[in-house]
Amino acid sequence: MALDLDRSVYLAANESGALMWRLLSQGVTHASLVDSLAQTYGLERSVAERDVAAFVEELDRQNCLERSEVPR
């Protein structure tokens, strides 16, 4: 559960969403996020990819993401 103070809106996530949220807050890469989701829940990589994409899209739509450049 998260609170958007600007809009006074609560945002909720299921167990897998909470895992992704926690990992995103640690700055993991997209690939690491997919790997973690697939391993934790025994998902096919394609399913984990789809789930990560949907979650990240929703966070982006809700303006909950701050993107950073990956150091080279």
pLDDT greater at residue 69 or residue 33: 33
What is the value of pTM for the model shown? 0.76
Alpha carbon separation from 18 to 15, 24, 51, 55 (Å, rounded): 5, 10, 13, 10
What is the pLDDT at residue 7? 63
Residue 1 confidence (pLDDT) above 60: no
Whether 71 maps to a domain, the answer reads no
Whether 6 maps to a domain, the answer reads no
3-state secondary structure of 12: coil
Query: Can you tell me which residue has the tokens 């990992």?
Result: 23
Whether 21 maps to a domain, the answer reads yes
- The whole domain housing 51 covers 15-61
State pLDDT tens for residues 9-62: 556 667 888 899 889 888 889 999 999 999 999 999 999 999 999 988 888 887
Whether 50 maps to a domain, the answer reads yes
What is the pLDDT at residue 64? 73
Number of domains in the chain: 1
Whether 5 maps to a domain, the answer reads no
